[in-house]
Amino acid sequence: MKRPFQHYFIFLIFILAYFSSCNSIHVKSIGNGFQTWYGRVNNWNDLATTREEIAACHKYGVDGYMIELAGCKGEPDNQWTKTWLKDTEQNYKQLVKACRINHLWLFVSIVNDNMGQHKYGDKQPKLEQVMPMAQQLAQIVKKYGHKNIIVQPVAETQTASGEYFQSYCIQELKDFPLVYNGNAGWPTESIHGMSYIAVHPGDINDNIPAGAFTISDNGSIIRQLSINDSYDGKANPQTLIKWATHVKSCHSPIAGYYAFQRHDFDPDAIKALGKVK
């Protein structure tokens, strides 16, 4: 006959195992089957919408969520300030939590090397002008851990400042899988310290290098994938399915769709991505 303390011990082991399984994060391995990701470059600080999108990704079988960390919008005169940095950290913390609860990859592009070029209405300073604060963004990513996080230090690396920040992240974020997006968004091979490459095609029919992540972070393809040929419109679900299927046929492991300047929830886009497996 078992003694009472043995019953309590077995019960304790069961409880610990239960909570351990609840806190574990299960994401699909990169390269273990095709994946689709959804996200937004900017406007991801609207956490109510972001949480709704993340829950929809989980529901409809989309594998990851994407942001540009420096794209956390604040007031126009508040960007790249200490207050903005603090708000960005708090929003990022909540975003990481939501993705972990829903077992999604979180693809974090920290900065874009187009900063300061005034593309698409961009009013940000050049990267070289805010390098210390950009480094603090990298430290925010580091602070909240590497589980289910993939980091692209610089989107479309093309300047000396972009290369410098990239090297900084290779040193500081060694525990994270890192993605190289050099050659202004179309690299042909990775660099030392980075595990993957990502490409930004300009057309939905562009052939993708095998093994490269495919991200629709280009003005032309954003409009092609839109239902109304715009930067902020809803996606055209059928065109999105066709594009993701083409990306898969090129042996790219991931098709990532960016809702570029869109503010509102677009569940049909997420449903469409979830259909391509």
Query: In what helix (H) or strand (E) does residue 65 lie, and over which residues does it extend?
Result: strand 64-68
pLDDT at 214 over 80: yes
| Phi, psi of 83, rounded to the nearest 5 degrees | -65, -45
Taking residues 183-198, report their average pLDDT.
95
CATH code for the part of the protein at 34-274: 3.20.20.80
pLDDT at 135 over 80: yes
Per-residue confidence (pLDDT) for residue 8, from 0 to 100: 45
Greatest C-alpha distance within the chain:
77
Give backbone dihedrals phi and psi of 68, rounded to 5 degrees, phi first.
-110, 115
- When pLDDT is cut at 50, 70 and 90, the band that residue 234 belongs to is very high
Whether 207 has a pLDDT exceeding 60, the answer reads yes
Q: What share of the chain is helix, strand, coil (3-state, %, to 5)?
A: 45, 15, 40
pLDDT surpassing 90 at residue 186: yes
Q: Which of 195, 200, 70, 208 is nearest to 141 (CA)?
A: 70
Question: Which residue matches tokens 């230090």?
Answer: 153
pLDDT recorded at residue 192: 95
Query: Alpha-carbon distance 29 to 23, whole Å?
Result: 18
Average pLDDT over residues 253-269: 94
What pLDDT is stored for residue 76 in this prediction?
A: 56
CA distances from 189 to 28, 165, 209 (A): 23, 19, 9
Judged against a pLDDT cut of 50, whether residue 16 lies above it is answered with no
Q: 81-121 pLDDT, tens per residue?
A: 999 999 999 999 999 999 999 999 999 999 999 887 777 76
Question: CA 250: distance to chain centroid?
Answer: 21
Dihedral sign, CA of 95, 57, 253, 233?
A: negative
The rounded distance, in Å, linking the Cα atoms of 93 and 91 is: 5
pLDDT in the model for residue 233: 92
**What DSSP character marks residue 226?**
B
Least confident stretch, 41-45, 87-91, 165-169: 41-45
Tell me what the pLDDT averaged over the chain comes to. 90
pLDDT at 273 over 50: yes
- Highest mean pLDDT pick, 1-5, 44-48, 129-133: 129-133
Both tokens of residue 70?
Answer: 């420096």
3-class DSSP state of 112? strand
Q: Is the pLDDT of residue 216 over 70?
A: yes
Q: What percent of the chain has pLDDT over 90?
A: 78
Q: What pLDDT score was predicted for residue 74?
A: 61
Range with the lowest mean pLDDT among 13-17, 64-68, 69-73?
13-17
Q: How confident is the model at residue 72 (pLDDT cuts 50, 70, 90)?
A: confident
pLDDT in tens, 58-68: 999 999 999 99
Structure confidence at residue 146 as a pLDDT band (50, 70, 90): very high
Instruction: Return the SS3 of 10.
Output: helix
